[in-house]
Amino acid sequence: MRKDIQPKYEEVTVHCACGNTFKAGSTQEEIRVEICSACHPFFTGKQKNIEKGGRIDKFKKRFNLD
């Protein structure tokens, strides 16, 4: 078998969009995620409006619900 064909498994820093950082093991150098256990509604118990862009306003405007 050939030697040294597996990627190096190292401890990396994971960065969340909420600003939280933590250490994890990976073959990548750095990991960026959109949602983590510090900001996920299941773990925090708080519902947060993640959808942005005015979808509700677009819907109301399209069907004249104002």
Q: Find out whether 36 is annotated in a ligand binding site.
A: yes
In angstroms, the CA 32 to CA 15 distance is 5
23 occurs within a structural domain? yes
60 occurs within a structural domain? no
59 occurs within a structural domain? no
Q: The CATH number of the domain where 25 resides is what?
A: 4.10.80.400
Listing from the earlier edge strand, what are the strands of the sheet with 31-33? 21-26, 10-16, 31-33
Domain count, the chain: 1
Two tokens at 12?
């990396």
53 occurs within a structural domain? no
30 occurs within a structural domain? yes
32 occurs within a structural domain? yes
pLDDT of residue 46: 74
Residue 42 burial by Cβ neighbours in a 10 Å radius (0-12, 13-18, 19+): exposed
Q: Find out whether 14 is annotated in a ligand binding site.
A: no
Q: Find out whether 39 is annotated in a ligand binding site.
A: yes
Task: From first to last of the 66 residues of the chain, give the pLDDT tens digit.
Answer: 788 898 999 999 999 988 999 999 999 999 999 888 888 777 777 765 555 667 777 788 888 876
Pairing of strands 21-26, 31-33: unpaired
Q: Find out whether 16 is annotated in a ligand binding site.
A: yes
pTM score of the predicted model = 0.56
1 occurs within a structural domain? no
